[in-house]
Amino acid sequence: MARIISVANQKGGVGKTTTAINVAAGLAKSGRSALVVDVDPQCNATSGLGVEPAARHPLLAGRPLLGEVSATSQPGLFVLPGSQSLADADALSASNRQRASALRQQLGGELGRFDYVLIDCPPSLGQLTRAALAASGEIYIPIQCEYFAMEGLSQIVELARQCRSRENPRLEIGGIVLTMFDPALELANEVASEVREYFAETVFESIIPRDVAISEAPSHGRSVMDYAPRARGSRAYTELVMEVIDRESSSSRTRAGSPARA
């Protein structure tokens, strides 16, 4: 069964798509199979992995999903391409439980053969993000180490809590990722400390720095690990992926050691 993770934040430009791409790429490098599902109408995750957007979103095309999955230049890394069609965006974001249930069945059914499925959500709190959360087991929240970060973080956390109570009791906040960190800026350090104070162990230890290589890699259709393996950003995402794997192992041990519930 795939581990389904939504990568979401209602604020744009916080490293959401970049994190989805590079975590998936790092997982593939570790020997896992990873699929990026692009439900953002901007299709940045699709183009950032060197794949052309689909004319019709595969989740709506009515064809077997495995046939719509595209391989990337990296072994073990795949993408279900997004569509820039406004009609598709409206259909995917239909505000009803039937759409969320269908999305969950599609991701857990045909695409369950992958070890990890990362859903790149649009930068909004709209129905498309809600449907993705309703179909996921976890949410990863990238936040930029800048002003207003905490305000935006509280909103997406509240959305996750609402989704858990109303639609998807399995949903957990899998981790908060600090991105675009510049240690020379006092504000960046203050934001990082404040986020850790409020959210404690939910925040990943790995911090993603500002690094031009991270920004350049998508234009070449590659992850930063492939584009510039010695760059600071590459090392940071590699460390983040190691944490993702460690958290999975810890979670599995916890479940195995827990008594069965009635």
Decide the pairing of beta strands 70-71 and 77-80. Answer: antiparallel
- Return per-residue pLDDT of the chain as tens, 262 residues: 789 999 999 988 899 999 999 999 999 999 999 999 999 999 999 999 999 999 988 888 888 888 999 999 999 999 999 998 867 777 766 655 566 666 777 777 778 889 999 999 999 888 888 888 988 999 999 999 988 877 788 899 999 999 999 989 999 999 999 999 999 999 999 999 999 999 999 999 999 999 999 999 999 999 999 999 999 999 999 999 999 999 887 766 555 554 433 3
> 211: alpha, beta or left, given left = phi > 0 and alpha = psi -120 to 50?
beta
What is the structure's pLDDT at 262? 34
Output the pLDDT for position 261: 39
The CA–CA distances, whole Å, from 31 to 24, 78, 106, 115 equal: 11, 13, 24, 10
Distance of alpha carbon 221 from alpha carbon 186, whole angstroms: 34
- Tell me which DSSP letter residue 53 carries: P
Sorted by where each starts, the structural domains of the chain and their CATH numbers stand as 3-253 (3.40.50.300)
Nearest CA among 149, 245, 248 for reference residue 196: 149
In this prediction, residue 252 carries a pLDDT of 60
Which burial class, exposed, middle or buried, applies to 64 when counting CB atoms under 10 A from its CB (0-12, 13-18, 19+)? exposed
Which residues, in sequence order, are CB contacts of 72 under 8 Å at separation 6+? 49, 50, 51, 78, 79, 221
Provide the pLDDT for residue 251. 65
Q: What share of the chain is helix, strand, coil (3-state, %, to 5)?
A: 50, 20, 35
Using a 10 angstrom Cβ sphere, with 0-12 exposed, 13-18 middle and 19 or more buried, the burial of residue 254 is exposed
The whole-angstrom separation of Cα 180 and Cα 148 is: 14
Which are the contacts of 161, defined by CB distance < 8 A and separation ≥ 6? Answer: none
pLDDT attached to residue 80:
96
CA 256 to each of CA 77, 116, 213, 246: distance values in angstroms, whole numbers, following the listed order: 29, 20, 40, 15
Q: What's the pLDDT score for residue 191?
A: 92
Q: Is 150 exposed, middle or buried (0-12, 13-18, 19+ CB in 10 A)?
A: middle
Instruction: For residues 247 and 160, give the distance between their C-alpha atoms in angstroms, rounded to a whole number.
Output: 19
